[in-house]
Structure 1
Amino acid sequence: MSRHDGRLIHQAASLLLSYPEEDWTARLDLVRTALGPVGGAAGERLRTFCAEAAALSALDAGAAYVSTFDRSGRRTLHMTYYGDGDTRRRGESLLDLKTLYRAHGWQPGTGELPDFLPVMLEFAARVPGPGGRLLRDHRPGLDLLHAGLADRRSGYAAVVEAVLLTLPRPTSADRRAVGERAALGPPAERVGRTVLPEVPGGVR
């Protein structure tokens, strides 16, 4: 896959994994148009999702989104949660992400936490070198998210699969990490008296 196609896949996935607002139909049309020149399995996965999602109103799509993504550690879009859970280490990971974004002159404008997958995907689309490495670093979490969505038979599994298809094949360390996290779940240590911010956009 060319770097250009990879950037288009990442930007399209960022839009599709964001909460469906009133512009949902227009967003799907924009993604389909942008994917026009993109071939291969990743582009096909996203086109399939768009075709199926077009049958839903923005209201129904929003309800499906809220019921699909959660904070259980199986289907959250907040990627540091897969490895860090609600521990002190997660706060450090969020700070590291903010530092990375700033170092490349990018400030997310969504009001979301920096580990929200659509934010990470937009960064990868804008700054493909560091952004691609960031996605590779979070491959175990992406694999777990994909597995959780596939178990639920969610159409969103195709979107995450498209992202995975832009990455190198998983290493043995990646596979071990997925197996361990699937078996044990995220760390359960609470962050002292500090409560992590509620996730906006209906994702709990």
Structure 2
Amino acid sequence: MMRGASPAYAPDQLTRTWQSASILMDYPGDELFGRLDLLSEVAASLPASLGSGLQSTIEHLRGQSLWDSRSDYVDTFDNRRRGCLFLTYFSNGETRKRGLALLRIKQVYTKAGLVLTDDQLPDHLCVVLEFAATTDQRAGVKIIVDNRAGLELLRLHLVEIDSPWRGALESVCATLPALKGKDHEAVERLIAQGPEVEEVGLNPYGMPDLAPMPGGT
């Protein structure tokens, strides 16, 4: 088993979980609803500890319109800082350091032969999950684990607001080892202080515009 992934699961189970979660946690496109039956079959083929969370998200998406799914998605991930899907934002905040973190991840992709399109940032959770699932599991899971505190803060946010995407992310977290002491400390620090902020020189790094956290969310 690769370092950084839970020893409880086989590589093919990790692949199916990460790729399914990558599809489910991306912005709902027209093609998503046509893929829900297949995703449900994949989820059913996994151990319950991985598949049940995916199924929960799938069933919620089945029960609402594409328009409502898109509206909920924007409110969950685009309008709240704790819902940010860009992993290095949590560890580096709105600072120049994030540009270096993005560059390092992009170099990992380039080494593995993956070329991103111009509209993709390398630290978007769905991009990282897709990379881990289809290109390089070992390198992909390292990116995830290196940003584990941010991933946990995102999970807590989704639990707090009872998000339909909570299940998919909990399935991803189930593929990882339990949080260690330093990870807990990092999460507590993020909750108390939030990511770092630096007001100058951020545009070249493709920083996403994030709305303030209403009510601290």
TM-score scaled by structure 1? 0.92
Distance 2:184 2:103 in 1: 26
1:156 matches 2:165: yes
- Range with greater deviation from structure 2 (80-89 or 18-27): 18-27
**Sequence identity percentage:** 33
Change (3 A) 1:170 1:109: same
Q: For residues 193 and 164 of structure 1, what CA distance do their matches in structure 2 show? A: 30
Cα 1:193–1:161 change in 2 (3 A) is closer
1:5-61 residue CA offsets vs partner (Å, 9 max, x unmatched): 011100000000110011121132231122332123111110121012101111111
Structure 1 residues 193 and 74, CA, compared in 2 at 3 Å: closer, same or farther? closer
- How far apart, CA to CA, are the structure 2 residues paired with 1:185 and 1:156? 22
The 5 Å alignment of 1:18-167 reads 18-70=26-78, 72-109=80-117, 111-126=119-134, 127-167=136-176
Partner of 1:188: 197
SS at match of 1:69: helix
1:103–1:71 CA distance, 2 compared to 1 (3 A): farther
- Is 2:55–2:167's contact at 8 Å kept on the other side of the alignment? no
Write the letter of the residue equivalent to 2:60.
Answer: E
Alignment counterpart, residue 11 of structure 2, candidates 3, 8, 16: 3
Structure 2 residues not aligned, in runs of 5+: 1-8, 212-217
Which amino acid in structure 2 is aligned with residue 99 of structure 1? Q
Partner deviation per Cα, 1:131-181 (whole Å, 9 max, x = no partner): 111111111111000111111111111111110000011111111111111
The Cα RMSD (Å) is 1.9
Q: Any idea what the Cα deviations from partners look like across 1:66-123, whole Å, max 9, x if unmatched? A: 1111364311001111111110000111111100101111123482211110000001
1:193, CA displacement in angstroms?
6.4
Q: Which amino acid aligns with 1:114?
A: P
Q: One-letter code of the match for 1:129?
A: R
Q: Distance in 1 between matches of 2:109 and 2:66?
A: 31
Q: Distance in 2 between matches of 1:108 and 1:15?
A: 17
Contact 2:94 2:202 in 1 (8 A): no
**Change in CA separation of 1:110 and 1:38 when aligned onto 2, cut-off 3 Å:** farther
Q: Partner residue of 2:178?
A: 169
Given that 1:108 and 1:119 are in contact with CA atoms closer than 8 Å, whether structure 2 keeps it comes out as no
Secondary structure of the equivalent of 1:44? helix
Which residues of structure 1 form unaligned runs of 5+? Answer: none
Aligned residue pairs total 202
The TM-score normalised by the length of structure 2 is 0.86
Amino acid at match of 2:53: R
